Chain A
Amino acid sequence: MLAQEQAQAVAAEAHKGFDAGETIIEHVSNSGLDHPLFHLPRVLGIDFSVTKHVLMLWLVAAFVFVVVTWTVRRYLGQDRRIPSGFMNALESVVEFVRDSIVLPNVGKKWVNTWTPLLLTFFIFILCANAIGLIPVFDTLAVLDHFVFRTGENSFVKQLLHGGTTATANFNVTAALAMITFGAIIVAGSKAHGFIKHWKNLVPHGLAWPIYILLIPIEIMGMFVRPFALTMRLAANMTGGHIAILSILSFVFLFTELFGRAAAGVGVGLAVSVPLSVGISFLEIIVVLVQAYVFTLLTAVFIGMAIHVHH
């Protein structure tokens, strides 16, 4: 009897059809809080349980920490200080961030103060973006389906829910932009003193009616800049994945439309796979450019707080 009911449930599920929108959202958004990966207690009414994106953040942070520390330690332990292997790549990244992002914007005096923060931003965002393009969990899903065959509620099954790109989550990018927001204030305070920094927001020596207009605009601008950073990074990361997934979902939509698998496979081979390969190449560029843009704009804003010219 149970088998019959199960078969009926499966038939009903199949009859409901393929919902492209729901599937795509499931693949780019965070996994739900009702099925967290690890249960953690609530603190001050906030559920601290670990979801997929938090796990990805931890993985990326651990990866960056281990790889960078290990490489630099090995280099420092050498008898002759000649960079080799991965150290070369790391050095070129550090030099690129310092010489073409931080130095032109922040200036010679403060470059060593702000390079560490911006370098951390660049490498962390780059790795978090890039890991979304590597189908780790999709490979795990295939292996699980055909090889491991774990149960319905196993840890592996829980891992497969939700998207892989942590920076596609607006909360993550908002947290990163909050650091930028703080860094701008700290930079201005360090260069001019705390009170002078707030005075520097508006140009001095204007007629007083202009300040009534100018002060609200400048205060709004202070909040709009991190908000734009948040939206740009998260929307760019989400957008590319949605494009790839919606093109790939043509396969299932056409299978359903014509009622046979051959139609779907044909559309997949002729349209979906070539197009999504092209968009994946575009995504590689977007991953690099967005990490660069976030770092560059943070450097520009910090530079604007330090070099006030009105």
Chain B
Amino acid sequence: MVGFYLISVAIGLGMIVIGAALGIGKFAAAAADGIARQPAAADKITAAVNLPLFLLEGVAILAEVFTLLVLLLGPKG
């Protein structure tokens, strides 16, 4: 059973990375697109993208912390 439990932690970590990567990829693509259309607005676009990017990163980090907690507090053996 311990093996299954480790696999669940590994799958969880992988899914977190997939989600965070999709999110950050969309942000970066949209920001690059916007800056390419309107180079003058680059500062404003960067400022607008920053905050949601960090919120997204925070959610991913939270999920990773909880996965690691499952790993550390789970059954030993």
Using a CB–CB cutoff of 8 Å, the interface residues on chain A facing chain B are 104, 228, 231-232, 235-236, 239, 293, 296-297, 300
Q: Assess whether A296 is in contact with B51, with CB atoms less than 8 Å apart.
A: yes
- Taking A236-B61, A239-B61 as known contacts, 8 extra A-B pairs with beta carbons closer than 8 A to each other, sorted by chain A number, are A104-B47, A228-B62, A231-B61, A232-B57, A232-B58, A235-B62, A235-B65, A300-B51
Q: Assess whether B62 is in contact with A296, with CB atoms less than 8 Å apart.
A: no
Q: Assess whether A228 is in contact with B50, with CB atoms less than 8 Å apart.
A: no
Bound together, the chains give a CA A297 to CA B62 distance in angstroms of 16
The 8 closest A-B pairs by CB, nearest first: A235-B61, A232-B58, A293-B54, A228-B58, A235-B65, A231-B62, A232-B61, A231-B65
Interface of A is mostly: helix
Question: Which residues of A have CB within 8 Å of B47?
Answer: 104
Question: Which residues of A have CB within 8 Å of B55?
Answer: 228
Pairs across A and B, CB under 8 Å, 28 listed = A104-B47, A228-B55, A228-B58, A228-B59, A228-B62, A231-B58, A231-B61, A231-B62, A231-B65, A232-B54, A232-B57, A232-B58, A232-B61, A235-B61, A235-B62, A235-B64, A235-B65, A236-B61, A239-B61, A239-B64, A293-B54, A293-B57, A296-B50, A296-B51, A296-B54, A297-B51, A297-B54, A300-B51
Bound together, the chains give a CA A104 to CA B59 distance in angstroms of 24
Bound together, the chains give a CA A232 to CA B55 distance in angstroms of 9
Using a CB–CB cutoff of 8 Å, the interface residues on chain B facing chain A are 47, 50-51, 54-55, 57-59, 61-62, 64-65
Interface of B is mostly: helix
A118 to chain B, nearest CB (A): 15
Closest A residue to B61 by beta carbon equals A235
Bound together, the chains give a CA A235 to CA B65 distance in angstroms of 7
Question: Which residues of B have CB within 8 Å of A300?
Answer: 51
Bound together, the chains give a CA A235 to CA B61 distance in angstroms of 7
Closest A residue to B62 by beta carbon equals A231
Question: Which residues of B have CB within 8 Å of A228?
Answer: 55, 58-59, 62
Closest B residue to A293 by beta carbon equals B54
Closest A residue to B54 by beta carbon equals A293
Bound together, the chains give a CA A268 to CA B50 distance in angstroms of 37
B17 to chain A, nearest CB (A): 12
Question: Which residues of B have CB within 8 Å of A236?
Answer: 61
Bound together, the chains give a CA A256 to CA B47 distance in angstroms of 50
Question: Which residues of B have CB within 8 Å of A232?
Answer: 54, 57-58, 61-62
Question: Which residues of A have CB within 8 Å of B54?
Answer: 232, 293, 296-297
Bound together, the chains give a CA A232 to CA B64 distance in angstroms of 10
Bound together, the chains give a CA A179 to CA B28 distance in angstroms of 32
B71 to chain A, nearest CB (A): 9
A187 to chain B, nearest CB (A): 18
Question: Which residues of A have CB within 8 Å of B50?
Answer: 296
Closest A residue to B43 by beta carbon equals A100
Question: Which residues of B have CB within 8 Å of A297?
Answer: 51, 54
Question: Which residues of B have CB within 8 Å of A235?
Answer: 61-62, 64-65
Bound together, the chains give a CA A300 to CA B52 distance in angstroms of 12
Closest A residue to B66 by beta carbon equals A231
B28 to chain A, nearest CB (A): 15
Bound together, the chains give a CA A236 to CA B50 distance in angstroms of 17
Closest B residue to A100 by beta carbon equals B47
Bound together, the chains give a CA A293 to CA B61 distance in angstroms of 14
Question: Which residues of A have CB within 8 Å of B64?
Answer: 235, 239
Closest A residue to B50 by beta carbon equals A296
